Amino acid sequence: MIRIAAVAAILYGAWLMILLSLPYGTFDRYTDFLLTKQLVYHIKSWRFSFYIHVFVSTIVLLAGLLQFSRFLLYRKPQVHRWTGKTYAAVVLFLSGPSGMVMSFYANGRWPARTSFIILSFLWLLFTALGWQLAMKRRWSAHSHMMLRSYALTLSAITLRFYAYLLGYFNIALHPVTAYVLISWLSWTLNLLLAEWMIRSGALDRWMGKPSTIS
């Protein structure tokens, strides 16, 4: 039941991400979040990184989720491999680098920027290591590393969830303080949960016996 709820929450979050990204298809510099980025919008590296990051976010959310499907892993391994390669390629060559560029211009000054820089670095690192471990056919270590990577991918959803909670409960924080807080919580809590799943054996029990994958 918990697994079904988690998958449903991720799919709902991915759907919301699609809805949030649609307005940016007009490339209007005064759209939603871009209103807070007028001082950096003229910087081409930031602007290109922003649109890349926005438009491929749903791809990594969905492709990453499919990596933890036992049905695909054991019944459709070719689909598992194809979606895994798609996930890794998009993170390593599009989402990760664009996220890193954006990190240096993040709202919330250096306390928030530091959080996003670390997040981007670890996201790239865990994804690259996960790919490398798959090439070496070290399946258990591969699944552990990819869970860490995907936990950071989900920060796109959890950041917005924590922002929603702060507003819903009307928690009185200065906007900058609130943004710094959720910038750190959005990925650190995800990573802690992933580590618990790895160290408790919960991930291995769910995925079965990776050593049997052909």
pLDDT in tens, 39-81: 999 999 999 999 999 999 999 999 999 999 999 999 999 999 9
pTM score, whole prediction:
0.94
H/E stretch holding 163? helix 155-168
Q: How many helices (H) and strands (E) does the chain have?
A: 10, 0
Say if residues 14 and 58 touch (Cβ distance below 8 Å).
yes
Residues spanned by the domain of 173 = 2-212
- pLDDT confidence of residue 208: 77
How large is the angle between the packed helices 175-199 and 109-135, nearest 10 degrees?
20
| Mean pLDDT, all residues of the chain | 94
In angstroms, the CA 76 to CA 67 distance is 11
pLDDT tens readout for residues 188-209: 999 999 999 999 999 988 887 5
pLDDT tens readout for residues 70-106: 999 999 999 999 999 999 999 999 999 999 999 999 9
- Grade residue 212 by pLDDT with cuts at 50, 70 and 90: very low
In angstroms, the CA 75 to CA 33 distance is 42
- pLDDT confidence of residue 3: 79
| pLDDT score of 211 more than 50 | no
Task: Specify the number of domains making up the chain.
Answer: 1
- Grade residue 2 by pLDDT with cuts at 50, 70 and 90: confident
